[in-house]
Structure 1
Amino acid sequence: MRRANIGTHFTSGSDELTDGDLRDLYSYPADLPRPWIRANFVCSIDGAVSVEGLSGPLGTPADKRVYDTLRELADVVVVGAGTVRAEDYGSVRIGPEGRRRRIESGMSESPPVAVVSARAHLDLHSRLFDQPEVAPIVITCSNADIARIADLANAGAHVVTAGEHEVTTAGLITALDGLGMRRVLCEGGPSLFGRLAVDGAVDELCITTAPVLAGGTAGRIATSPHAQVTAMTPAHVLTDADGTVLTKWVRLPLP
């Protein structure tokens, strides 16, 4: 993996990026006063975010390195219930060295997965609840089924409400802040990311473009009933020898 661009200035440097370089490039801002929401996605050259419903076939070695780095740096991994079901999510696994670095920096050994589910409708027999590394968090609504909430709590989940009839963006951010989780990594799905984007809550987007054409009927990385343009600026562009392109975009300050 080589640095092709930093900021908006292309360089011709050919030094291979180390894992330490990646941690520096993807580090969160220091002394965050509120949750910083970073989203991470992979897509094909022709814009597909999945192949037959799964993002895994689009992964590349470079994407996996960045994916692991982002997870190591996060306080929490936020994901929508639909993506948890489609991708069969489990706990976040951090290697021994990553755990050591997290502990030395005052973080927990592994970040929990926080699932956004308005109805608290999750499979208690899924990988997420099967001997998790860290107890999952379920962010739901106050009018969700009481029995489901009780079942989730009995299965070991930490249940938090963030809205009455739907999980609002403001409620989600307040809930994460209340849990002391300010380095947020959102891994989808498109509807959750779309809502965050339209509500102006996405601070940063990391996106991998895999060097493949996928075709099919897959949608975009973000979907929402309404459109909202948010100006972003490139922080860096990385390339790998196989053609993978990895970019990090940061929201421009509000005028």
Structure 2
Amino acid sequence: MSADIPIRRLWPEPSELPLDDAALTALYGRADRPRLRVNFVASLDGAVTLEGYSAGLSGTPDKRVFGLLRMLCDALVVAAGTLRHEGYRAVRLNERRRAWRREQGLAEYPTLVVVSHSLDLDPAQAAFADAPVRPIVLTHPGAEPPPGLTDVADVLRFGDDRLDLTAGLAELHRRGLAQLLCEGGPHLFGALTAADLVDELCLTVAPLLAGPGSGRITAGDAAPPRQLALQHVLAAGDGALLTRYARG
């Protein structure tokens, strides 16, 4: 086992034995078509953060799946606000996960994709300055990049006075980035839902009550409800539930 806290499958086909990384990789897998997967952790009472940060909700099993999902994706999509607030570093993987990617014919590292309306980004942040693969920034034509941003990232513009997410994701697919993993934040999740771009949600339910004050995993303008089907439920030894829902 690669982790001290076991993860077992509750549904479908409950398993008594803990799942190793190979079994988890098979459960989450890669799709045979373009896919946008969203990954979040929330408390039992629906909070997206604890004391302002998502890390307070995430235990060892959630972090384990978090790392596997990064290994499986072609590109990691994140909102600029989340990038700044959570202090994202360069997206890197350990040698074992890089070797798995090489065996699958994938680039050693996923590409970081930052979604930003204002381009309020710091080119010196490690997510850009130390990136093993040149990041991509999705924005709209009216946004002006800060000095140095285009030296460390490709800035792509879609839409008019606001970013056209559908066109932006289509360009990522054109570049060969078909398996997309979004780590938030809530406003980006809400916008992707409104545009009907979300194919899958991986949600970890942390075994605690955060109390009032924190927002939900989604935010923004109202959007029609989208139906997803349950794919699996995993139980971690720390009491967390790891769920996966997908279209159809």
Instruction: State the TM-score bracket (shorter-chain normalisation).
Output: over 0.9
Q: Give TM-score, length-normalised by structure 2.
A: 0.93
Instruction: Tell me, yes or no, if structure 1 residue 51 matches structure 2 residue 47.
Output: no
Q: Give the superposed CA RMSD.
A: 1.4
Partner amino acid for 1:118? H
Distance 1:180 1:204 in 2: 19
Shift of 1:119: 2.1
Amino acid at match of 1:97: R
SS at match of 1:79: strand
Alpha-carbon spacing, 1:239–1:165, altered in 2? closer, same or farther (3 Å):
same
Residue range with higher mean Cα deviation, 124-133 or 43-52:
124-133
1:105 Cα deviation after fit: 1.1
Does structure 1 conserve the Cα–Cα contact (< 8 Å) formed by 2:50 and 2:57?
yes
* Distance in 1 between residues matched to 2:103 and 2:14, nearest whole Å: 35
The answer to whether structure 1 residue 217 and structure 2 residue 217 are counterparts is no
Question: Secondary structure of the equivalent of 2:189?
Answer: helix
Contact 1:191 1:224 in 2 (8 A): yes
Q: 2:145 aligned with 1:151, yes or no?
A: no
Question: Where do 4+ consecutive residues of structure 1 move more than 6 Å?
Answer: none
Matched, 1:27 2:29: yes
Return the letter of the residue paired with 2:23. Answer: D
Normalization by structure 1: what TM-score? 0.91
Give the Cα–Cα distance (whole angstroms) in 2 for the partners of residues 39 and 187 of structure 1: 6
> 2:161: which partner in 1?
165
User: Shift of residue 151 of structure 1?
Assistant: 2.5
Q: Which runs of 5 or more structure 1 residues have no equivalent in the other structure?
A: none
In structure 1, the residue matched to 2:63 is: 64
Q: Distance in 1 between matches of 2:110 and 2:62?
A: 19
String of CA shifts for 1:43-83, please: whole Å, max 9, x gaps.
11111100222100111111011001000000000000110
* Cα offsets for 1:145-164 (capped at 9, x unmatched): 1x53x62112x112111222
Preserved CA contact (<8 Å) 2:42 2:49? yes
Tell me the equivalent position of 2:123: 124
Tell me how far 1:242 sits from its aligned partner. 1.4
Q: What is the rounded CA distance, in whole Å, between the counterparts of 2:158 and 2:29 in structure 1?
A: 28
Which residue of structure 1 lines up, in the alignment, with residue 10 of structure 2? 4
Matched residue SS, 1:68: helix
Aligned to 1:17: 19
**Number of residues of Structure 1 aligned to a counterpart in Structure 2:** 242
Aligned to 1:202: 198
Gaps of 5+ in 2: 1-6
Identity, % of aligned positions: 40
How far, CA to CA, are the matches of 1:90 and 1:159 in structure 2? 19
- Which moved further from structure 2: 165-174 or 104-113? 165-174
**SS of residue paired to 1:174:** helix
**Further displaced range: 173-182 or 82-91:** 173-182
How far is 1:133 from its partner?
2.2
Instruction: Tell me the distance in 1 between the aligned counterparts of 2:14 and 2:201.
Output: 24
Determine the C-alpha separation between the residues in 2 that align with 1:142 and 1:227: 25
Letter of the 1:223 partner, please give it.
A
Q: Match for 1:132: what amino acid?
A: A
Deviation at 1:12?
4.2
1:189 counterpart = 2:195: no
Aligned mates of 1:24, 1:231 — CA distance in 2: 24
One-letter code of the match for 1:71?
Answer: R
Q: In the TM superposition, what whole-angstrom CA distance separates every residue of 1:194-230 from its partner, at most 9, and x where no partner exists?
A: 0111221100000001111112411111112113111
Deviation at 1:176, TM superposition (A): 1.0
